[in-house]
Each structure stands twice: as structure tokens, then as C-alpha cells.
């Protein structure tokens, strides 16, 4: 039944030989890898304004919006140009982690990897929270529904991605393109009405809350720290830019060529839409408080003269793109975690592919942590944003620094020009990372700043364990296994067919010594067992151990320790007869054998064998 349900939800398994057919074309790859970056246009401008208006700057806040947007746009050009080089230099994927590992060493690589993993988890939480906020802005439903709807969206995204990257990409492509067309239409019509037809007014603050009207009446100056905080909020527009470089192997051949084209398209769409929506906001002045409709909702209603069909297309597509932006993280988090796991710094389970050729354990882990964040922060995007940008720019910085070392080391054609580009990128993104953590430290930026070093320490702990296991399992030249005395202990309760079969199996091993062991609770039980032993004429020696506290595992372990004390070179095989029935009825039977086997697994020089008796 479980397998049938799994096939229904996830689909039939895909053979490893068919992996090439699961790769993405540029048209499908753009929504898969660019949805995160493109979706930031739905909230990045809002986040800038929330900071500026929160300082009671009034109309002065909008005069700072366009310069901040232009600076973010220039930064985007630098980062896109830098990552285009990374794609061709490291076509195996992995982005910042691989570049740092190859050129800077394990510690910088794990810092970059930790930053990216944190970024992907926050991408899911922020995108889903932003999408639900867009729908709240349109329909005005209660805030109490926010977290349940967010969790439902995460569940649906998880199931879609467990079905495979290509299938989820084809499913999510149309909403992404609809959003881009809707947003470009909003910007084009809005700017045409502002600059050409001049038939549109600024948004009336009376449409929103008292908090927003208070912002409109403000007149305070804007200090440097507020400007830096606003800039760092807007810089989240660059989140997801590195996704294409992390997922190069997912593209159809030629992988690097197709990935580079997708990256440039993504940069063009993101930069144009972000600056365009910021210019429109500077003229329409969408004053809003934290609980008011989004800036895009307010501007769409103003530009399209009310809540007609264009408004609803804009809002629904905004909801869709924000929810689907999480798909970028679902594409890259499992892939990156699998690379780190193969290097021995994450549990090896993250490197395993599931039935549909996706890294299923990474997908499930990502969904679980993102769901916890949504629950903990009550689905509020403004509380999640301050956690977001530090990891993004930390990864950028290490990636570009690694590329600088790459160019110096290899000196490929035109390496000086490439070196200059990556050096500018490294310095710029490094400065932004410092600005983010300083300007938003008390608002939550301290969390990733503290979490990332702990993650690096955790990774090294895992790596140390795997190295120790590998060293312990190395076979020296000329090594031969030592011959041990074989001692078999058959565990019995009362004589039945399972016990008889287990004894027969134990004899077939031809051990040096074989005995039966029973843990009894009282003398009467002991006498009954010995009587059964005589009645069935069982020739092997029977030992009984009294357990006045009705325990099983501790008396057995103590008995095995006594055997070891007599002869230290024994290999002890413990044979356990078990009754096995159909799954639906197995829970009715005593599961003491499971606890015993779990304890014996960690006992040196001990082998555990189950002899099943199939009832059905």
C-alpha cells in the first residue's frame, strides 16, 4: 500500500541511464533557476521603503529610492558578469563552494557552502511568506491563516520536486513567464502614464492604515545608518543570482553555454524590472505600513484604475512567482548538499539520489527547516528579510575571491581583464556583506552571522568522523583476518518451531561451541522450560539467567561478558528466532528483539543473526 501511494504521489522510478533526458532546456531552466531572483522584484522595493518610511522621512524617502535602486542595479551587473566567468571555469556546478574549495581551501569553502545553504533555506521561507502576503493584499483574509497556508505551499512544492527537476520545472514555467509579462506591463503602462500621458496621480495615503498616513506626514531627515539599512534591504534583489552557477550540470549540452545565456536573461529581467518598479514607486508614492497591501498591489490598483482583470492577474501571478521562487532553492540546496556530502562534510545520505533522480533527502530536509522558520517567525516576511542578505553576499564574496586566485594561478587568455572583474566583485560584495551585518545586526542579521561559523564547525566534526572511519577500514598490504573461536548463543523463550529452526541453523554453522540461553523471571518458568527441553530431547546445553526486574537486554549482555571473560578471542554469534507476520499485524507482537539487536550491534566481536519464522 505504501509503495502504491508513493508511486501515485512521486511517480515511477527513473533509471540512471535516463538522467540525460531529465536535463533542462533554457526555456525551462529560466523559471527553475531564475524564479528566486526575479521574484525579489515583488518585495525588494517594498523593503527599501519600509526602512526609509519607518524613519518618518515622509516624501523625502522616495527621493532616495531611485539612487538606491541604481546602485543595486550596478551591483547586479558586477555580480552577473563575475558569475558568468564562474560558469565557464567550473562547469561541474557547486558555485561558491567549488570555487572556494579549489582555490582557497576547505575552511573558506565550508563558509561559502554554509552561507549558500542558509540562503536557500531562507529563500523558501521568504518566498512563501511573500507569496501569501500578496494574496492577503488582494483578498484581505485574516493573518491567522498565514502560517497554515505557508505550510501547505511548502508541502506542495516538496511533493512536486520529489517528482523530479524537469517535471517541476515544466509545471512552474508558465506562472513565472506570466509574472514577468504582468510586471513589465505594469511598469510600461505606469511609466507611460507618468511621463507621457501625465494622467496619473500619486496614491492617496487615505487608502491605507493610520501607520502609513503617519509615514506620509513625516518630515525627519534620513541618516547614514538608515540609508545603509535601506540599501541592504534592497540588496536582497540579488538573492538567487548564484543559482545558475550552482546548477550547471542540470542544463542540456552544451551546459556552460546554455547556463551562461540563462544567467544573462535572468540578469536583464531582474535589473530592468527592479529599477523600473522603483522608478514607478518614486512617482506613485505607495505609502504603506507592515500590515498594508504590498507596494505592487497599491501601484497596480492605481495604474490599472481599480481592481479589474489586470490587477488580479498581477496579484495572482505575484503570488505564484513568490511561491515558485522557492523552486530555485529546491533545485540547488539538494545539489549543493550532495556535493558537500561527497566531500565528507555532510551525512552521506544527502548524496543519495531518490527514485526520480533527485536528492530526496536534501529536498525533505530543506522543506522541514523552512517550515520551522515559517512557524517561528509567524510567516512575516519583514522579520525574515534581515536574516537573508548576509548569507547571500558572503557566498558572493568567497566565490569572487576564489576566481581571483583561479585567474592568478592559471593565467588563461585575457586573464587580467577577468581578474579585474572578479576583484571588483569580491571587494564590492564583501563591503555589502559587512554593511548588511552591521546595519541590521540587532534586527536579526546576527543569527546567520553566528549560525554560519557553527555550521562550519559542525561540518568539520562530520569530516573528522568520516576520516577516522576511513582510516579504520583501510586494509594494509598483506593483511589477513585473525582466526577466532566461534561461539554460538541461541536465545530462547519457550520451545516452539522458531526455536527448533534457530537451533538447526546454529548447528549448520559448525561452531566450536553452541549453547541455548533463556532469561526467566521465576523458578516455575525455569522448571517448565527445562521440562520442555527434556521432552523434545534437545541435545545442546541450556543456560538460564534469572531477571528479577523483568529485563531482557541487560542479563543477555552480562552473560556475553562472562563468555568474553573466559575466552577473549571468541567471536560470539547470537541467534534470535523471530515470528514474522504481515505488516498490519506485526505490531501486535513483542518487539523486544529489536531493542536487543540494537544493543548488540555496538558490542565488539559480536554477530547477530535473526532466524525468521513466517506465519502467513
Q: How far apart are CA 103 and CA 116, in angstroms?
A: 18
- pLDDT value, residue 218: 65
Q: pLDDT, tens digit, for every residue of 389-442?
A: 788 888 889 988 999 999 999 888 888 988 998 898 899 889 888 888 887 777
pLDDT top residue among 178 and 584: 178
Residue pair 323/130 in contact by the 8 Å Cβ criterion: no
- What is the mean pLDDT of the segment spanning 372-378? 90
Residue ranges of domains in the chain: 35-466, 485-614
Q: Compute the C-alpha angle 230/315/247, nearest 5°.
A: 70
Cis peptide preceding 73, ω within 30 of 0: no
DSSP output for 33-52: HHHHHHHGGGTHHHHHHHHH
d(CA 176, CA 139): 21
CA dist 196 and 211 (Å) reads 33
Q: Which residue has the cell 585575457?
A: 414
Cα-based angle 573, 576, 581 (whole degrees, multiple of 5): 150
- The yes-or-no verdict on residue 167 having pLDDT over 60 is no
Cα angle, residue 551 at apex, residues 550 and 554 outer, rounded to 5°: 150
C-alpha cell at 105: 581551501
The per-residue pLDDT of the chain, averaged, comes to 84
CA dihedral (586, 591, 597, 598) positive or negative? positive
Segment among 17-21, 151-155, 379-383, 573-577 with least mean pLDDT = 17-21
Q: What is the pLDDT of residue 587?
A: 64
Q: How far apart are CA 329 and CA 317, in angstroms?
A: 19
Radius of gyration (C-alpha) of the chain in whole angstroms: 32
Grid coordinates belonging to 43: 518585495
**pLDDT for the residue numbered 585:** 67
- pLDDT range class, residue 104, cuts 50, 70, 90: very high
Euclidean distance between the first and final Cα of the chain, in Å?
A: 18
pLDDT in tens, 275-321: 999 999 999 988 876 667 788 989 999 999 988 999 999 988 888 88
For residue 426, which phi and psi values (nearest 5 degrees)? -65, -45
> Under CATH, what is the fold of the domain 485-614?
Rossmann fold (3.40.50)
Q: All 3 cell numbers of residue 563?
A: 563468555
Would you say residue 168 has pLDDT above 70?
no
Rounded Cα gap, residues 408 and 166, in angstroms: 38
d(CA 93, CA 12): 27
C-alpha angle 579/580/584, rounded to 5°? 130
User: Which residues are within 8 A (CB) of 170 and not within 5 positions of it... i.e. 6 or more apart?
Assistant: 28
Tell me the CATH number of domain 35-466, given options 3.40.50.300, 1.20.1740.10, 1.10.3720.10, 3.30.2350.10.
1.20.1740.10
Give the closest residue to 573 by CA, choosing from 501, 495, 505, 497.
505
Query: Does residue 234 carry a pLDDT above 90?
Result: no
Return the exposure string of 305-319: e unless at least 16 CB atoms fall within 10 Å of the residue's CB, then b.
eeeeebbebbbbbbb
Please check the confidence at residue 265 and state whether its pLDDT lies above 60.
yes
**What's the CA gap between 516 and 529, in Å, rounded?**
11
Cell of 571: 567471536
Q: How far apart are CA 556 and CA 595, in angstroms?
A: 12
Q: For residue 517, what are the β-bridge partners?
A: 491, 543
CB 310 within 8 A of CB 300: yes
Low-confidence winner among 86-90, 224-228, 346-350, 515-519 (lowest mean pLDDT) = 224-228
Q: What pLDDT is stored for residue 580 in this prediction?
A: 80
Residue with cell 521568504: 126
Tell me: pLDDT of 20 over 50: no
- Strands lying side by side in the sheet with 541-546: 541-546, 513-520, 485-491, 570-580, 606-614
8 A C-beta contact, residue 473 and residue 414: no
Output b/e per residue, 203-221; b: 16+ Cβ within 10 A: bebebbbeebeebbebeee
Using alpha carbons, select from 24, 407, 94, 110 the residue that is nearest to residue 247: 94
243 CB burial (10 A radius; 0-12, 13-18, 19+):
buried
pLDDT at 262 over 90: yes
CA distances from 507 to 355, 538, 605 (A): 41, 12, 20
107-122: pLDDT as tens digits: 999 999 998 899 889 8
User: Which pLDDT belongs to residue 21?
Assistant: 45
Buried b (16+ CB within 10 A) or exposed e, 456-476: beebeebbeebeeeeeeeeee
Q: For residues 597 and 591, give the distance between their C-alpha atoms in angstroms, rounded to a whole number.
A: 10
What's the CA gap between 10 and 282, in Å, rounded?
A: 46
- 224 is written with which cell numbers? 547614514
Amino acid at each position: 500500500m505504501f509503495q502504491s501511494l508513493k508511486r501515485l504521489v512521486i511517480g515511477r522510478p527513473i533509471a540512471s541511464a535516463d538522467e540525460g533526458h531529465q536535463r533542462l532546456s533554457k526555456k525551462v531552466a529560466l523559471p527553475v533557476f531564475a524564479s528566486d531572483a526575479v521574484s525579489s522584484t515583488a518585495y525588494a522595493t517594498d523593503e527599501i521603503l519600509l526602512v526609509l518610511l519607518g524613519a518618518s522621512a515622509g516624501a523625502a524617502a522616495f527621493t532616495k529610492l531611485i539612487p538606491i535602486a541604481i546602485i543595486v542595479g550596478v551591483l547586479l551587473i558586477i555580480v552577473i558578469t563575475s558569475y558568468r566567468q564562474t560558469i565557464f571555469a567550473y562547469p561541474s556546478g557547486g558555485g561558491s563552494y567549488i570555487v572556494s574549495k579549489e582555490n582557497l581551501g576547505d575552511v573558506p569553502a565550508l563558509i561559502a557552502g554554509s552561507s549558500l545553504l542558509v540562503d536557500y533555506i531562507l529563500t523558501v521561507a521568504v518566498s512563501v511568506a511573500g507569496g501569501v502576503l500578496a494574496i492577503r493584499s488582494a483578498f484581505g483574509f485574516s493573518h491567522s491563516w498565514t502560517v497554515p497556508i505557508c505550510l501547505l505551499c511548502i508541502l506542495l512544492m516538496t511533493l512536486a520536486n520529489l517528482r523530479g527537476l524537469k517535471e517541476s520545472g515544466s509545471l512552474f514555467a508558465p506562472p513565472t513567464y506570466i509574472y514577468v509579462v504582468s510586471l513589465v506591463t505594469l511598469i510600461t503602462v505606469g511609466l507611460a502614464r507618468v511621463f507621457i500621458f501625465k494622467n496619473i496621480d500619486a496614491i492617496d495615503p487615505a487608502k491605507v492604515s493610520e501607520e502609513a498616513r503617519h509615514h506620509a506626514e513625516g518630515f525627519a531627515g534620513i541618516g547614514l545608518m538608515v540609508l545603509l539599512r535601506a540599501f541592504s534591504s534592497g540588496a536582497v534583489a540579488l538573492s538567487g543570482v548564484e543559482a545558475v552557477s550552482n546548477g550547471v550540470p542540470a542544463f542540456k549540452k552544451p551546459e556552460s553555454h546554455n547556463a551562461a545565456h540563462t544567467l544573462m536573461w535572468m540578469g536583464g529581467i531582474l535589473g530592468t524590472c527592479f529599477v523600473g518598479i522603483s522608478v514607478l514607486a518614486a512617482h506613485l508614492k505607495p505609502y504603506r505600513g507592515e500590515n498594508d497591501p504590498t507596494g505592487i498591489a497599491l501601484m497596480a490598483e492605481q495604474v490599472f484604475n481599480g481592481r479589474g482583470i489586470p490587477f488580479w492577474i498581477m496579484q495572482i501571478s505575484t503570488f505564484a512567482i513568490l511561491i515558485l521562487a522557492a523552486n530555485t532553492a529546491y533545485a540547488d540546496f539538494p545539489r549543493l548538499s550532495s556535493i558537500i556530502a561527497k566531500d565528507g562534510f555532510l551525512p552521506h545520505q544527502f548524496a543519495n539520489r531518490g527514485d526520480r533522480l533527485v536528492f530526496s533527502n536534501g529536498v525533505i530536509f530543506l522543506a522541514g527547516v523552512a517550515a520551522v522558520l515559517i512557524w517561528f517567525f509567524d510567516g512575516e516576511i519583514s522579520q525574515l528579510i534581515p536574516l537573508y542578505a548576509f548569507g547571500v553576499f558572503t557566498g558572493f564574496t568567497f566565490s569572487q575571491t576564489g576566481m581571483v586566485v583561479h585567474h592568478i594561478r592559471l593565467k588563461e587568455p585575457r586573464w587580467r581583464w577577468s581578474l579585474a572583474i572578479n576583484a571588483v566583485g569580491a571587494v564590492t560584495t564583501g563591503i555589502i556583506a559587512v554593511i548588511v551585518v552591521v546595519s541590521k545586526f540587532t534586527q536579526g542579521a546576527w543569527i546567520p552571522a553566528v549560525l554560519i561559523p557553527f555550521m562550519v564547525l559542525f561540518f568539520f566534526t562530520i569530516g573528522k568522523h568520516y576520516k577516522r572511519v576511513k582510516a579504520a577500514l583501510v586494509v594494509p598490504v598483506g593483511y589477513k583476518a585473525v582466526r577466532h573461536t566461534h561461539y554460538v548463543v541461541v536465545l530462547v523463550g519457550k520451545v516452539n518451531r522458531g526455536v527448533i529452526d534457530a537451533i538447526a541453523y546454529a548447528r549448520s554453522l559448525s561452531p566450536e561451541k553452541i549453547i541455548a540461553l533463556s532469561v526467566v523471571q521465576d523458578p516455575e518458568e525455569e522448571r517448565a522450560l527445562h521440562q520442555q527441553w527434556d521432552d523434545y530431547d534437545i541435545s545442546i546445553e541450556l543456560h538460564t539467567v534469572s531477571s528479577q526486574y523483568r529485563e531482557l537486554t541487560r542479563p543477555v549482555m552480562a552473560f556475553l561478558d562472562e563468555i568474553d571473560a573466559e575466552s577473549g578471542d571468541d567471536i560470539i554469534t547470537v541467534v534470535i528466532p523471530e515470528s514474522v507476520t504481515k505488516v498490519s499485524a506485526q505490531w501486535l507482537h513483542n518487539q523486544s528483539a529489536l531493542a536487543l539487536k540494537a544493543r548488540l550491534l555496538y558490542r565488539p566481536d559480536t554477530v547477530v543473526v535473526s532466524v525468521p519464522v513466517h506465519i502467513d
